[in-house]
């Protein structure tokens, strides 16, 4: 979780899988554009 928060690598790698992208579309998932905003 910390690495994904820091760099987004885990999410980017996860989303390279065509099956995941298809499943996300099937359930009408829309990412929150503010989700990567960090409050320090």
Q: Mean pLDDT per segment of 10 residues, for the chain of length 40 residues? A: 82 91 90 64
pLDDT at 6: 83
Domain annotation covers residue 15: yes
Cβ contact 24:16 at 8 Å: no
Structural domain contains residue 29? yes
- Per-residue H/E/C for 1-40: CHHHHHHCHHHHHHCCCHHHHHHHHHCCCCCCCCCCCCCC
Domain range holding 7?
1-34
Q: Is residue 39 part of a domain?
A: no
The domain total for the chain is 1
Written as six digits, the tokens of 11 are 């999410």
What is the per-residue pLDDT for 20?
92
What's the farthest any 2 CA atoms get from each other in the chain? 35
Residue 24 lies in a domain: yes
Domain-embedded: residue 40? no
């Amino acid at each position: 979780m910390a690495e994904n928060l820091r760099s987004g690598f885990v999410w980017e790698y996860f989303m390279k899988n065509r099956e995941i992208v298809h499943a996300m579309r099937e359930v009408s998932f829309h990412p929150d554009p503010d989700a990567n905003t960090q409050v320090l």
